[in-house]
Structure 1
């Protein structure tokens, strides 16, 4: 059972210079006349005049003719006749009303009317159009493909249909649409704010009701307060019926295949409604005029046949002679070709097999045999009659022309095919880009990401070695990059501030980590023999020799004290104010991958022990760690740990979350996915998780449920190593090689 789903958009500002009205009527058919068909009449009217009672009454009077007719059945009429009668009634009523007003007030009368009237009965539609109301069909190019949009009025008539002083409507257009197709009837004002592709994406992405709501929301901001909008979104749907459920699969397979798309049916009929309003003599004159030219054409054809019969016999004799000479010349060429081909095969056979030891003799005799063959051919050609020589020359010339033409045609065909494929690729990229943009509007992140990936895949196959296509490629690439940044919440960081370069103190230094203390920055590296402290206030660098400490890990213990963990599993305290270093005690039975301080307790993560340990403070350092994680968990390849009351462990591309010793499910939503992150940062005062991935040169920020907030991208850096966050200052500090950098964050 077919169903028509529709929705109206009517925006009529107080200061509007035009008046828009929308009418929808149901048709009630008798049971004998396909009661199950969806039948409605739609009308969209725009009058170029300020809204007033006089204009409203005029529209109501004219299109009110539809209501009494729509409440009746067809009474044995075909849909075409019914619609023609309806149009005729409206035209008559228009003439009556305008004529009455002309007698009393002709200054601004009659008003300019833009109108469209559409009858939908099942898959059949009939419509008449006047002025600047635009009907669009939005249809699928393939069963599972995307949608395309077409202006029906342009393809039906090629020119705008205008109302005149006699009637409103002139031409009727009829045709068929398919289930799932959309019709968009709109005033031209909507096209000032949306491209056709944008309208197609918005309308086809959801139901007519949702499409109308989205269009109204988008128009709420940029729309001109003096502009009115009127639109109808119509969709043909199919509801399941009991009869359809009883059809078995064999019967379905025997059904005829549908046409390629509904546009092949839509523009089937254009009927001139003037025949209902003018005498029949109009058409009789046209018929007489047409018959006159048919007779003239028949007479000319007879004369031409007579001339052909007179000269046919002589022409046949000439053609016969030329054909014989040509066939003879072709036979000579064919004999020579096959003789040469046989000689080549014989030569190759002897050379390859060395039959009877003749390979050397055959190779030596090549120049002599070739010269002999040429002379024989020359002699045969010269011995031919003059006519045969001419025929042979003509054949050679024609063959050369044919060969050249074939090569040129094939080359042109390849170029046209390549151009067609290129245009199709560009169209596919644009389609995926538009689909991604539409998905963003509707909040469909999954479809947006998938469409973006498909567009990027198509762009990767785009020919880049043709200079003529560089501009097109760069434009598409730029558009897709901007769209990707929008979908992936990427912010490019270009204004990085350089705080200090520790290479100024030591050209050979290699740094891996840094800690932000109350007074400065403490930088160190496991391959460095020194610890560097940069005082932010006086901008001086202090250096502390560490001998063979080789600190692999570091974390802040208090405002001025840093804990250092060496490769030999020893723990040290470094005081940045005193520039002093001392070893402290800690009992650890396994290697430590990372460590941090929370609530004065030391937390360490160990892949070797597959555990997180909590160490309580003692007078001389920290006590032996107690296992904190309950149950079985895989902590292999752990990279970093952060604690805010909940414990987060970063391993490979996965982030594990633990509360009260138990693992809690956490999934990070990010595109592209994390591949090789190295550090996580958070605190009990922060609402976010910060993760550094040096390989992709980004810091990703998530809320604590794993939803992506933003990605900070710094492509200009060559060696990002470590980072720290000061949310109160809205800054991130970043170690790149030996440089300390900072940039402002915008997500807070």
Structure 2
């Protein structure tokens, strides 16, 4: 486990930003950490420049001489001692006349999991420590320095040393500005805690006028368990891409391939040496072979190999034919047996002769050959082990670089969210997810790391998409308890009672306290496509040969309107029925209105007088005094007094492509859209059209109806045979 220290500093970028000081942030070579300095004087003159240059020289020498194995505390104390002595000497020799009261500075070192610092004067030095509860406790370190330090003098300007351990999430910020006065504490803490150092510096700079000089240093400690802690936060990797990463990976493989030992050449040379020793060849013969050009030697060997192969193939063929003929007779078989016995005898004799020649080899030569064989085996194992070690090391370095690139993208995406640039954040998170999916997962640790990154990215994308996932929404009732094949076609509410229109054309009342449905009107066989309610009356739209509207009686449905129009939705409003007719090849789309005449409704008439919107895929409408018409592709058009008015729905991610139902009323501040294919409900702010939130659940299969009670912060959803209730978390209490 290692802390990854990241840091960034702001320095004046234009001549108008005049400061009387300097800031230094120097990375430690070979170590994860930084040396930092921020100093200022009240006046700018030759004396102050010499003072600041002295500080800068000492800080750079500390960073350059800080070895890989150096003890941070010991080196920092040595540094302070030398710095105090130099400052005192300059003052005693009259090199500058800067009053100590006009000098403010802080100098420190952060490395590994520790930080040491010292200061003089008064600066803003904030340390945010993240507690186990994930809350931050804020300390002003300069107050601690001032409390412990007596009146400062040039004899020991940096008299107090503060030290402490760093933990994951800790943030250190130092500047000459009073940040806690200029920036609201909650905003400042959020910027420092949530943003990476580079983004935090940029964000804080925006709180000050462009001509107002600013010096600022921010350090942050992060924790990565699977990589070596390094820090290159000061350089963005925005120019990296998946394509470049793939090219780098291929180049690494080629380099590793070049480094693998050529065992064929090695074995060839060793065999040549051994043969020469056995045959007692002269060394010059061995050297002459070794000095041949590799290409010519391989050609000669290949030629000899082909020649011998052809020679022995022909001999084997002739011998096979000869023995095949002999096997056809008893005499031939006897001759073949005798021949095989003779061959075995000759082979035995030759092996004995060979071993005899080996026995004649001097014992020292035998030991030498045996030693060479053992040395060859040991050498081969060593080279193989070294090659594998180099391969693993290079692969690990490549893995670390890829992980760092992913973390950089995630941090920049988090910064984009703070700046309200959701498109940029979405793009960065998408690239980061692609990189994570290409990470190797050959160990359990790497698999867990990739899974953790993917989970974090998905949570962030859900946040950008304003997605609220509901794993187990409360179930209020199930029509399948009455009939296994029964589904819900529509949902309405009247007199604080919920009713579901069944797929059998029946009407079912929800007994909410008992969490079950009861039959209100038995199944009629009607093909109900929509339902509406007003002032205790319930209306059903059926498409059985044209369109019919029924009102629910005590135990039956009574027809109150019939038309040849092809209608898809209806709403009851102000004692009238509004019906939606999509555009077809034969007629234009329209919202029809029918007024009550006694116990029935009159012939529907066109309500829209002017529109430009496409109604070819219109699927639903809702009324709150104005009329909202929903198209299947999620486009919503608003009408007032029969005319189209401007209303644009905010961007939804992912976009709506198969919307089926829209809901709002005169008391609601929002517009709700159902999309069964994605099992979600999308919510828009009514007045502005801004996208607010989307609720999703795996339980929302086959959504067909929605009723909203914003006063009770509840959404009622009919999905298949089940009726669910979820909390409307988007409504402010």
Per the normalisation by structure 2, the TM-score is 0.57
Aligned to 1:689: 671
Aligned to 1:734: 717
- SS, match of residue 733 in structure 1: strand
| Whole-angstrom distance in 2 between the partners of 1:341 and 1:323 | 25
Residues 631/544 of structure 1: CA separation in 2 closer, same or farther (3 Å cut)? closer
| Whole-angstrom distance in 2 between the partners of 1:647 and 1:356 | 99
Q: State whether residues 605 and 613 of structure 1, in contact with CA within 8 Å, keep that contact through their aligned partners in structure 2.
A: yes
Q: State whether residues 640 and 678 of structure 1, in contact with CA within 8 Å, keep that contact through their aligned partners in structure 2.
A: yes
Matching of residue 709 in structure 1 with residue 686 in structure 2: no
- SS, match of residue 420 in structure 2: coil
Aligned to 1:288: none
Residues 747/347 of structure 1: CA separation in 2 closer, same or farther (3 Å cut)? farther
Matching of residue 628 in structure 1 with residue 608 in structure 2: yes
Aligned to 2:329: none
Q: Deviations over 1:399-428 (max 9, x none)?
A: 544544454344334433433333233222
Q: How does 1:537-616 map to 2 (within 5 A)?
A: 541-575=518-552, 578-589=554-565, 591-599=566-574, 600-608=576-584, 609-616=587-594
Given the alignment, which residue of 233, 241, 251 partners 2:216?
Answer: 233
Q: State whether residues 23 and 216 of structure 2, in contact with CA within 8 Å, keep that contact through their aligned partners in structure 1.
A: no
Given the alignment, which residue of 203, 209, 215 partners 2:205?
Answer: 209
Q: Deviations over 1:594-633 (max 9, x none)?
A: 3323332312131434512312224333413426263554
Q: State whether residues 44 and 117 of structure 1, in contact with CA within 8 Å, keep that contact through their aligned partners in structure 2.
A: no
| Whole-angstrom distance in 1 between the partners of 2:383 and 2:199 | 48
Q: CA deviation at 1:210?
A: 1.4
Q: How does 1:294-443 map to 2 (within 5 A)?
A: 327=287, 397=374, 399-443=376-420
Residues 169/41 of structure 1: CA separation in 2 closer, same or farther (3 Å cut)? farther
Aligned to 2:726: 743
- SS, match of residue 689 in structure 1: strand
| Whole-angstrom distance in 1 between the partners of 2:683 and 2:592 | 27
| Whole-angstrom distance in 1 between the partners of 2:527 and 2:477 | 22
Q: How does 1:37-186 map to 2 (within 5 A)?
A: 41-42=20-21, 63=41, 67=45, 69=47, 91=88, 115-116=105-106, 131=118, 166=155, 168=157, 186=175
Q: State whether residues 491 and 712 of structure 1, in contact with CA within 8 Å, keep that contact through their aligned partners in structure 2.
A: yes
Given the alignment, which residue of 477, 483, 486 partners 1:509?
Answer: 486
Q: Deviations over 1:544-603 (max 9, x none)?
A: 334432222323354231222234333131426x132122333233x3233323332312
Q: State whether residues 586 and 624 of structure 1, in contact with CA within 8 Å, keep that contact through their aligned partners in structure 2.
A: no
Given the alignment, which residue of 431, 439, 446 partners 1:469?
Answer: 446
Q: CA deviation at 1:42?
A: 0.7
Q: State whether residues 595 and 603 of structure 1, in contact with CA within 8 Å, keep that contact through their aligned partners in structure 2.
A: yes
Q: Say which is worse superposed, 36-45 or 651-660, in terms of deviation.
A: 36-45
| Whole-angstrom distance in 2 between the partners of 1:344 and 1:543 | 96
Q: Deviations over 1:410-461 (max 9, x none)?
A: 4334433433333233222322222222223333333333223233333333
| Whole-angstrom distance in 2 between the partners of 1:441 and 1:7 | 24
Residues 331/548 of structure 1: CA separation in 2 closer, same or farther (3 Å cut)? same
Aligned to 1:674: 656
Residues 450/169 of structure 1: CA separation in 2 closer, same or farther (3 Å cut)? same
Residues 210/91 of structure 1: CA separation in 2 closer, same or farther (3 Å cut)? farther
Aligned to 2:680: 698
Aligned to 2:27: none
| Whole-angstrom distance in 2 between the partners of 1:324 and 1:690 | 94
Q: State whether residues 612 and 629 of structure 1, in contact with CA within 8 Å, keep that contact through their aligned partners in structure 2.
A: no
Aligned to 2:509: 533
| Whole-angstrom distance in 2 between the partners of 1:520 and 1:44 | 69
| Whole-angstrom distance in 2 between the partners of 1:529 and 1:378 | 103
RMSD over aligned Cα, in angstroms?
5.9
Q: CA deviation at 1:475?
A: 3.2
Aligned to 1:293: none
Q: State whether residues 652 and 677 of structure 1, in contact with CA within 8 Å, keep that contact through their aligned partners in structure 2.
A: yes
Per the normalisation by structure 1, the TM-score is 0.56
Residues 5/408 of structure 1: CA separation in 2 closer, same or farther (3 Å cut)? closer
Q: Deviations over 1:110-134 (max 9, x none)?
A: 99x983499xxxxxxxxxx982699
Q: State whether residues 539 and 551 of structure 2, in contact with CA within 8 Å, keep that contact through their aligned partners in structure 1.
A: yes
Q: CA deviation at 1:708?
A: 1.8
| Whole-angstrom distance in 1 between the partners of 2:663 and 2:189 | 48
Give structure 2 stretches of 5+ with no counterpart: 1-8, 25-38, 62-82, 95-99, 109-115, 126-151, 160-171, 180-187, 219-231, 236-280, 325-339
Q: State whether residues 329 and 388 of structure 1, in contact with CA within 8 Å, keep that contact through their aligned partners in structure 2.
A: no
| Whole-angstrom distance in 1 between the partners of 2:484 and 2:374 | 79
- SS, match of residue 488 in structure 2: coil
- SS, match of residue 617 in structure 1: strand
Q: CA deviation at 1:540?
A: 5.5
Aligned to 2:428: 451
Q: State whether residues 640 and 680 of structure 1, in contact with CA within 8 Å, keep that contact through their aligned partners in structure 2.
A: yes
Residues 557/688 of structure 1: CA separation in 2 closer, same or farther (3 Å cut)? same
Residues 422/64 of structure 1: CA separation in 2 closer, same or farther (3 Å cut)? closer
Matching of residue 652 in structure 1 with residue 627 in structure 2: no
| Whole-angstrom distance in 2 between the partners of 1:383 and 1:204 | 84
Q: State whether residues 135 and 186 of structure 1, in contact with CA within 8 Å, keep that contact through their aligned partners in structure 2.
A: yes
Q: CA deviation at 1:541?
A: 0.2
Q: State whether residues 587 and 622 of structure 1, in contact with CA within 8 Å, keep that contact through their aligned partners in structure 2.
A: no
Q: State whether residues 570 and 577 of structure 2, in contact with CA within 8 Å, keep that contact through their aligned partners in structure 1.
A: no
Aligned to 1:256: none
Q: CA deviation at 1:390?
A: 6.2
| Whole-angstrom distance in 2 between the partners of 1:476 and 1:502 | 42
| Whole-angstrom distance in 1 between the partners of 2:395 and 2:403 | 12
| Whole-angstrom distance in 2 between the partners of 1:706 and 1:416 | 55
| Whole-angstrom distance in 1 between the partners of 2:531 and 2:86 | 89
Q: State whether residues 498 and 510 of structure 2, in contact with CA within 8 Å, keep that contact through their aligned partners in structure 1.
A: yes
Residues 601/416 of structure 1: CA separation in 2 closer, same or farther (3 Å cut)? same
Q: State whether residues 506 and 525 of structure 2, in contact with CA within 8 Å, keep that contact through their aligned partners in structure 1.
A: no
| Whole-angstrom distance in 2 between the partners of 1:637 and 1:466 | 51
